[in-house]
Every structure is written in C-alpha cells, then in structure tokens.
Amino acid sequence: MKKKLMFASLAAGALAVSGLASAVPTATASPVHEAGATHAVRVCTTHPLPGQMTCFAMALADASGNIIMSKAKPLTAFTPADVQKAYNIKGLKSHGATVAIVDAYGYPTLESDLAKFRDTYDLPPCTVKNGCLTIMGEDGGKPPGGDDGGTNWDLEQALDVDMVSSACPDCKIVVVEANGPSWRNLGTSVDTAAKVKGVVAISNSYGSGPGHDPHHYNYWRHKGIAITASTGDSGYQDASAPASFASVIAVGGTSIIPDGSQRGYSESAWSGAGSGCSDKNKAARYQDTKATGCKGDAMADVSGPANPGQGGLGIVYKGNFTQVGGTSESSPMIAAIYALAGFEGNPGAFPWNAKKGLYDITSGSNAAVARRCATPARAGTVRPGSAPRTVWTPSAADISGSLSP
C-alpha cells in the first residue's frame, strides 16, 4: 500500500534561560552574539582541520562562554510537547521506523542521559535492552571506547537523540559513532547506518564549514533513504558539505516564538542559518533554480528551529539540563518527520513539490547586507544579502502528493 508523505507544521517556542544554576566550561566554544537572542556558543571547533568535519550544535552560555547547565530542566526551553504541538505531529506513529544518527567519538552516558530526558518529558523508554536504541561503531561493531576527548561531539549526540525522541517518540534510534570527525570516518558511518534494517532516515548534524564544497561523495547517496544534513550556523555563505550534495536534504534554521495567531507561533529566518550555492554539484532536478538563484545545488531544501535562544531544545547532557540549538537541532527533527511520514521515491523532492503543509517564512534574514533580488528565494536558500521569502518547514500532518515516483 502506497502512503502519502506528510509534513506536519514545524515551529517552536520563544526561549529565555531562567533558573539555571551552574556552568560547565566548553573547550572550543566560539561566542555568537545576536540581537534579541540569548548568548550562545558553538560547542565544536569553528575551524576543522583539512579533511575533517565539525558539529554545528550551539548552546546557551554565560558571559564567560561557559555552557549553562542545571540539575533542573530550563522551564523556558523548547520541549517535546512544543515540538509536537508546533509542528502538528502529536499522535503520529512511525510504526517501527528507525532514524539513524551519525556523529563522531564515544559518548559513555548516552543511554542514561536519553533515559533521563525521556522520563522527564513522559516519553516511552528507549533503551538498548528493549530494542529501541542501538549504539555502534563506524564499522557496525563496538562503539569507540572512552569519550570525545573534550571536543564536545558528545553534546551534539545528546541533542540529536533528544530531538529525534521529541519529534518521533516511537521511532527506533541507531547511533553510529565514528572513530573521528574525518570525511572517511563519518562517511563510512553513513554507509554503515544505511545497511541497518529498518533505517529510513539518517541525520548528519555536521559539516566541513563554509567554502569547502567538493564534488559529491557516494557516502551520502543511498537510494530510498532520507539523508539530512545541517547547513551550518554562519549565515549566507559559500556552500559546505555534505549539505551541498544534491543527494542530501539540506536543513536550514529558523527562529520561532509563541504568539496569539491561529498557528500559535511566529517564525522567521534565523540570522545564523547557513545557506549558499554549490559551485561543484549540480542542482537536484526538483530544485527551482530560478527561485534559488543558484546554478548548482542550493542549501537549504527545508528548515526547522535552530536559534538557540528562540527555539532551542532543553536536552540532557551528562546528567544535567542545558538548552541547545543550531542547525544541528533542525536536521534530526526533519529526519524524524520523514520517519513519521513513510515514503517511497526520492525523499528530497517532497519539500519542493508539496503544495500544503509547509510554512512560508516571509521575515528575517541570514545575510549581513540587504540587497535587492528579483525573485524571492525558496526553501531556506537566500541570494547574497537577501531575506529568505520562503523558508520551508516540513510538517507531518497534511501533505499533498503521492510518494510513488
């Protein structure tokens, strides 16, 4: 029986940090200041070594750049209930679909942190014992021993598994931990994830950074699997991989706050959301190049909440709560939406072809200098300096169009 792909309505809540008691230093934090937003830091390096990737998670921090942690959940942070309500996905079932998450290094407290997160927010248990959670190494064997050596990729993993849990509580989760953040390590991990029975989507909340746009790597090309990748947190920029690959669903980011509208939320383009045009990878055939203004593949295809201060998810990390965003937050959510939807055919085409179930974002900008452009940009990809007129946010509740080719 053929299913319809459904994209629910993605949106989130306005968040200021309160009641956070302690701070944990972050080794490679880079401060990002934004008007109207809480001070946030990038948790992984902003300048990865040649041949390596960096994670895109951003956490709320104090004035000294220390990630704010607390034993109590941040009451103003985005929660699983917010995710489900804002995007009309409450009550939807994945029927046993599996979302894979690819990250680097070990994370010894992953299972216990995930258990605390799901228990706090009344989500069903997801453990190794009950078969919901699987943790493996890049070759499918044992995961890397120890932790990430202070690189904060474990915090990235915490965000990823908590967001998949939030959007799709009954999804199974496979975490593939690469031995390191190299292209080969992470790409091999994607290949491993694609071979796991039941995997329908693979989330990649990392990238090479602005300006590194190689030709497509086959690691991120797996027919019939929705492969999502974060576009990064540097605003309008040169394309970065793997989001720049035509086979990947590039996921940008928005800011979102509750309001009194019928939808209940106001959403705008987040100034940090990565976007750009590839100069080495051809545009996917379903992309509207007139709308994007890109001759090559455009970042992004779709967007979700990413502003750490206005839509950041309250996660559990090493037994504590913290509030985290970045396009690292939106990628696993979109992957979970695909798992909820059930699909056939090319998953990347659906956000572009859908006539309903997507919110057009008509305010905000992710560029430093405003310029005029003749055609509004679509799907989170903006022209140099232009405000995105359409930042797509998928929604798992009412999509039109059959999933059959």
Q: Where are the domains of the chain?
A: 22-353
Q: Could you read off the pLDDT of 64-100 as tens digits, one per residue?
A: 889 999 999 988 889 999 899 888 898 899 998 999 9
Most confident of 90-99, 123-132, 339-348, 366-375: 123-132
Rounded CA-CA distance 303/379 in Å is 7
Domain at 22-353, CATH class: alpha beta
Q: What separation in angstroms does the CA of 305 have from each of 40, 179, 332? A: 15, 29, 11
Q: Pick from 265, 315, 301, 305: which is nearest to 378 by CA?
A: 301
For 40-49, 213-222, 327-336, 380-389, which range has the lowest pLDDT when averaged over its residues?
380-389
Identity (one letter) of the amino acid at 305? P
Q: At what angle do helices 110-120 and 153-167 cross, to 10 degrees?
A: 40
Rounded CA-CA distance 249/243 in Å is 7
| pLDDT higher than threshold 70 for residue 242 | yes
Rounded CA-CA distance 44/146 in Å is 18
Q: What separation in angstroms does the CA of 355 have from each of 233, 307, 396? A: 28, 26, 13
- The encoded tokens of residue 159 equal 């965000």
pTM of the model: 0.85
The pLDDT, as a whole number, for residue 224 is: 93
| pLDDT higher than threshold 70 for residue 1 | no
Q: Could you read off the pLDDT of 256-268 as tens digits, one per residue?
A: 887 888 888 888 9
